[in-house]
């Protein structure tokens, strides 16, 4: 006999209890229902069986009883100054005591408050609820609650503890920190110097920060530096890392490691020899080849790692490992396993917690040491780059970018599998630019698992990224509110939105940002509900505005005063061609060549020319252009235009400043285009090296005109 499938009403109740939306507003304005089969699969990704009516009803009952089965809530996140009551569940009539242990070790006993919630039967036990008042003067930080329930006289009290996280209500704005102003954004991997090993690195980062700081800029916004595959083919996209917590050692400058200065000449010669080919590649036109650059650099790093360190340096390394704890050790272990087994680990090593993993960890201890050492080295070099940035006069310094997710076969999913949903990936539903939807091939965090883990994955990631930075941009910040989950085997359009506890997630991110004295910017482009932008604004998190996208319903570009003050404003993004190529309509030709257009090419080209015309007309309206402007004059005028907005932060793309024409990334492509492998060149496709920037005529002209306009508009 076939078991009955759950009805729509039952599925809807169950889905809502897990934060799964059963309908959504499509880009065309239609309210779209999520298929029952998709809801069942998304629930399955959270470990919930809803395949039959019986299993769905049991799952719904479990969801309803979940809070009553917790003595204390698994994790409580409250804004500072809040006066809230914590529910405690215990046998009806039992006596209970709740203590609060502060982050610094101090303790206090909480006061019980009236709670008239009726008791209820929970798994055959009459269970009551008591409530305790959380003081409204708690300091920010990670505290703990301890609950002691009295049992019969011959038994010790039953003790339960749980985390209590107190987070900021609002982050100070860049202006309040003395740092509102402008900066430059660059894809670090693309900006090489004569001594780069085929890819931009921490030494180039330091030089770029010094240059921007000397010009009066406050920050340098760079691509995500998250770690990629340690061996074999390295994924070019910085937005598909194996972990978001640790950094990619390809950005290390080997010669800047202290031990190199004390290497015997024969060993140092080997390091220099390893760098010969990638250094030639850095000054030779062509695509960036990460695999060969990393292979050469890894050989050099192996040599340097084996050199003896001073006692002080060794102690620093050991302290770093202790501070980073099991997170670093598991990441380094995963790297060693990936080196030994490739992408497919034996089933016995499916996680770091298996019995066989302990034996393998001991056998690979030297390789684990090497991968942990590289994280220590890049941490040290990033710290030096940030010190240099601040000493150059910047108020913010290094501005990191945080990717929305991680690779399905990466370190994060292996190290902490319980944090991720099974059998689903994230993406986006259909929109006017991607009418089939998007699948980013990244597994999402489970909202319930994050709560159970006290948001430690988010906390640890934010803490590491912000340790030597003054700001972070959160790519697709809506991912902290909701994500589009796509079950395995479904098309990108056949998914569902899953809600996250945005109060808790943003609160933890804000706590780490406040402790790092850092600014947070959310990439809130596209279809974002107005309340989300209002919420971010109220919490001191800046939004993102791109000039090309800031158009009113009639297609006219917004006037400068119509831009949001609480935002980072740029002229374009890394997902658009640089202005020189965009203004010439080269993006239309490129998308046509790559078969990405959904409309006739001539129609798209006509629309692009009309958009360019509207832009030129608006710039003329504000007296920023002559009658017959050159491409260079239009680019400078567009930056002068954003200088007139009230935005707290403004950013100039380095590609626009030097006249680059090629896009760094073409959304919707993989192998069809050299995404994330385009070196920085000028309008004639000549390489622009770090050493050339200070004397680059286009860069200097744009900066001087932009700064003059900015000074005039804000005086």
pLDDT at residue 500 tops 60: yes
pLDDT of 152 reads 65
R_g (Cα) of the chain, nearest Å: 27
Beta bridge partners of 167: 79
- For the segment 413-419, the average pLDDT, to the nearest whole number, is 95
**pLDDT of amino acid 433:** 62
The answer to the question of residue 256 being in a domain is: no
Q: Which value, to the nearest 10 degrees, does the dihedral of the CA atoms of residues 70, 74, 79, 80 take? A: 90
Q: Would you state the pLDDT for residue 631?
A: 93
Taking every pair of Cα atoms in the chain, the longest distance, rounded to a whole number of angstroms, is 93
**Domain presence at residue 630:** yes
pLDDT at position 702: 97
Read off the pLDDT of residues 192-236 as tens digits, 9 standing for 90 and up.
999 999 999 999 999 999 999 999 999 999 999 999 999 999 999
How far, CA to CA in Å, does 94 sit from each of 119, 147, 150, 161, 194? Answer: 12, 12, 6, 17, 73
673/599 same-domain check: yes
pLDDT at 712 over 60: yes
Q: Which of 148, 167, 186 is the last residue of a domain?
A: 167
Does any domain span residue 172?
no
pLDDT confidence of 436, banded at 50, 70, 90? confident
Q: Say if 553 falls within a structural domain.
A: yes
For residues 667 and 578, membership in a common domain is answered with: yes
Region 589-594: mean pLDDT is 88
Residues 645 and 554 in one domain: yes
Q: How many domains does the chain have?
A: 3
CA distance 408 to 576: 27
Same domain, 50 and 108: no
Q: Alpha-carbon torsion 468, 643, 646, 553, what sign?
A: negative
CA atoms within 13 A of residue 558's CA, in its CB half-sphere:
20
49 and 144 co-located in one domain: no
User: Are residues 640 and 689 part of one domain?
Assistant: yes
CATH code for the domain in which residue 87 is found: 2.60.40
In DSSP terms, 4 is beta-bridged to none
| Coil/strand/helix, residue 181 | strand
Helices H / strands E in the chain, number of each? 21, 25
Asked if residue 681 and residue 625 are part of one domain, the reply reads: yes
What tens digit of pLDDT does each residue of 331-369 get? 999 999 999 999 999 999 999 999 999 999 999 999 999
Q: Can you state the angle between helices 202-214 and 365-391, rounded to 10 degrees?
A: 10
CA atoms within 13 A on the CB side of 294: 20
Domain boundary among 118, 133, 167: 167
Indicate whether 715 belongs to any domain.
Answer: yes
pTM over 0.75: yes
Burial (CB count <10 Å: 0-12, 13-18, 19+), residue 355 = exposed
5, 53 in Cβ contact below 8 A?
A: yes
Q: Terminus-to-terminus CA distance in the chain, angstroms?
A: 79
Predicted confidence at residue 29, as pLDDT, reads 82
Strands 76-79 and 31-33: unpaired
Instruction: Using the Cα atoms of residue 171, residue 172, residue 173 and residue 179 in order, give the sign of their dihedral.
Output: negative
31-33 vs 243-247, strand pairing mode = unpaired
Is the same domain home to 693 and 603?
Answer: yes
Q: CB–CB of 216/395 below 8 Å? A: no
CA-to-CA distance for 172 and 544, rounded, in angstroms?
Answer: 17
Q: Which pLDDT value is given to residue 554?
A: 87
**Whole-number percent of the chain with pLDDT over 90:** 86
* Mean pLDDT, residues 22-26 taken together: 91
Residue 318's contacts (CB-CB under 8 Å, 6 or more residues apart) are none
- Which residues are paired to 339 by β-bridges? none
Distance, in Å, from the CA atom of 679 to the CA atom of 685, rounded to the nearest integer, reads 9
- Are 14 and 159 within one domain? no
The residue out of 119, 150, 167 marking a domain boundary is 167
If asked whether residues 122 and 144 sit together in one domain, one would say yes
Lowest mean pLDDT among 159-168, 660-669, 689-698: 660-669
Q: Beta 471-474 vs 519-522: how paired, if at all? A: parallel
Q: Is residue 141 located within the same domain as residue 27?
A: no
Cα 700 from chain centroid (whole Å):
32
The pLDDT of residue 148 is 92
Strand partners, 33: 23
pLDDT band at 155 (very low <50, low <70, confident <90, very high): low
Is residue 342 a part of any domain in this protein? no
Q: What percent of the chain has pLDDT over 70?
A: 98
For residue 164, the cross-strand partners are 76, 143
566 secondary structure, DSSP code: S
> How far is residue 485's CA from residue 408's CA, in Å, rounded to a whole number?
14
Average pLDDT over the chain, rounded to an integer: 94
Render pLDDT for 278-300 as a digit per residue (tens, 0 to 9): 999 999 999 999 999 999 999 99
Instruction: Specify the pLDDT at position 2.
Output: 64
Tens of pLDDT along 621-630? 999 998 889 9
Task: Work out the pLDDT band at 49, boundaries 50, 70, 90.
Answer: very high
* pLDDT score, position 669: 80
286-300, 425-439, 585-599, 639-653: which range is least confident on average?
425-439
Any idea which of 21-30, 213-222, 401-410 has the lowest mean pLDDT? 21-30
Range of the domain at 615: 542-715
Note whether residue 447 is domain-resident: no
Distance CA 251, CA 715 (A): 40
Using 50, 70 and 90 to split pLDDT, how confident is the model at 153?
low
146 and 98 Cβ atoms separated by less than 8 Å: yes
Q: What is the 3-state secondary structure (H, E, C) of 482-493?
A: EEEEEECCCCCC
Q: Is residue 28 part of a domain?
A: yes
Alpha-carbon gap, residue 444 to 488, rounded angstroms: 13
Q: What are phi and psi of 65, to 5 degrees?
A: -90, -10
Based on the fold, state whether residues 38 and 125 are members of the same structural domain.
Answer: no
* Residues comprising the chain, all counted: 715
Rounded to an integer, the average pLDDT of 127-144 is: 95
């Amino acid at each position: 006999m076939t078991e009955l499938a759950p009805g729509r009403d039952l599925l809807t109740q169950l889905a809502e209890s897990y934060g799964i939306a059963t309908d959504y507003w499509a880009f065309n304005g239609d309210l779209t229902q999520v298929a029952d089969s998709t809801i069942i699969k998304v629930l399955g990704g959270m470990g919930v069986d809803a395949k039959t009516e019986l299993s769905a009803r049991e799952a719904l009952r479990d969801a309803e009883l979940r809070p009553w089965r917790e003595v204390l809530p698994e994790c409580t996140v409250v804004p500072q100054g809040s006066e809230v009551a914590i529910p405690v569940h215990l046998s009806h009539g039992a006596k209970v005591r709740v203590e609060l242990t502060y982050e610094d070790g101090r303790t206090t006993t909480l006061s019980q408050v009236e709670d008239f919630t009726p008791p209820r039967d929970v798994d055959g036990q009459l269970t009551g609820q008591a409530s305790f008042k959380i003081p409204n003067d708690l300091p920010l930080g990670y505290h703990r609650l301890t609950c002691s329930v009295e049992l019969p006289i011959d038994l010790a009290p039953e003790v339960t503890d749980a985390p209590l996280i107190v987070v900021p209500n609002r982050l100070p704005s860049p202006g309040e920190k003395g740092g509102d102003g402008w900066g430059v954004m660059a894809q670090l991997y693309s900006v090489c110097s004569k001594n780069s090993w085929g890819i931009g690195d921490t030494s180039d980062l330091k030089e770029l920060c010094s240059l921007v700081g000397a010009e009066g800029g406050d920050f340098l916004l760079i691509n995500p530096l998250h770690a990629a595959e340690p061996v074999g083919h390295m994924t070019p996209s910085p937005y598909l890392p194996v972990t978001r917590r640790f950094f990619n050692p390809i950005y290390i400058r080997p010669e800047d490691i202290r031990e190199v200065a004390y290497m015997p000449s024969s060993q140092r010669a080997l390091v220099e020899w390893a760098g010969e080919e990638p250094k030639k590649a850095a000054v030779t036109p062509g695509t960036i080849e990460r695999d060969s650059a990393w292979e050469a650099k890894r050989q050099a790093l192996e040599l340097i790692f084996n050199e003896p360190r001073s006692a002080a340096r060794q102690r620093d390394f050991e302290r770093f490992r202790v501070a980073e704890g099991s997170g670093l050790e598991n990441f380094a272990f995963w790297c060693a396993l990936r080196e030994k087994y490739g992408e497919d680990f034996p089933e016995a090593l499916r996680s770091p917690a298996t019995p066989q993993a302990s034996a393998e960890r001991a056998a690979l201890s030297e390789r684990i040491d090497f991968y942990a050492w590289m994280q220590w080295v890049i941490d040290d070099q990033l710290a030096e780059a940030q010190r240099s940035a601040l000493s150059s006069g910047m108020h913010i310094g290094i501005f990191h970018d945080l990717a929305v997710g991680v690779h399905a076969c990466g370190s994060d999913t292996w190290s902490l599998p319980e944090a991720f949903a099974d059998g689903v990936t994230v993406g986006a539903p259909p929109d006017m630019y991607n009418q089939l939807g998007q699948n980013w091939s990244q597994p999402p965090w489970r909202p319930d698992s994050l709560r159970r883990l006290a948001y430690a994955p988010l906390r640890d990631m934010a803490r590491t990224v912000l340790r030597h930075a003054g700001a972070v941009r959160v790519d697709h910040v809506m991912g902290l509110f909701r994500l589009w989950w796509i079950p395995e085997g479904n098309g990108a359009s056949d998914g569902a939105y899953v809600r996250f506890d945005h109060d808790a997630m943003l609160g933890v991110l804000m706590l780490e940002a406040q402790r790092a004295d850092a600014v947070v910017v959310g990439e809130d482009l596209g279809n974002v509900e107005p309340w989300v932008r209002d919420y971010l604004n109220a919490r001191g998190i800046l939004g993102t505005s791109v000039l090309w996208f800031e158009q009113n319903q009639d297609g006219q570009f917004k006037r400068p005063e119509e831009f949001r003050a609480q935002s980072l404003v740029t002229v374009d993004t890394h997902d658009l061609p640089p202005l020189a190529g965009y203004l010439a309509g080269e993006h239309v030709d490129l998308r046509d060549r790559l078969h990405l257009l959904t409309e006739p090419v001539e129609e798209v080209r006509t629309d692009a020319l009309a958009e360019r015309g509207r832009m030129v007309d608006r710039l003329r309206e504000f007296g920023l252009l002559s009658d017959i402007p050159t491409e260079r004059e239009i680019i400078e005028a567009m930056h002068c235009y954003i200088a007139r907005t009230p935005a707290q932060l403004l950013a100039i793309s380095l590609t626009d400043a030097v006249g680059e024409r090629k896009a760094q990334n073409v959304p919707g492509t993989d192998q069809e285009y050299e995404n994330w492998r385009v070196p920085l060149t000028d309008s004639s496709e000549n390489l622009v090296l770090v050493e050339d920037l200070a004397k680059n005529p286009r860069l200097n002209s744009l900066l001087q005109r932009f700064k003059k306009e900015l000074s005039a508009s804000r005086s």
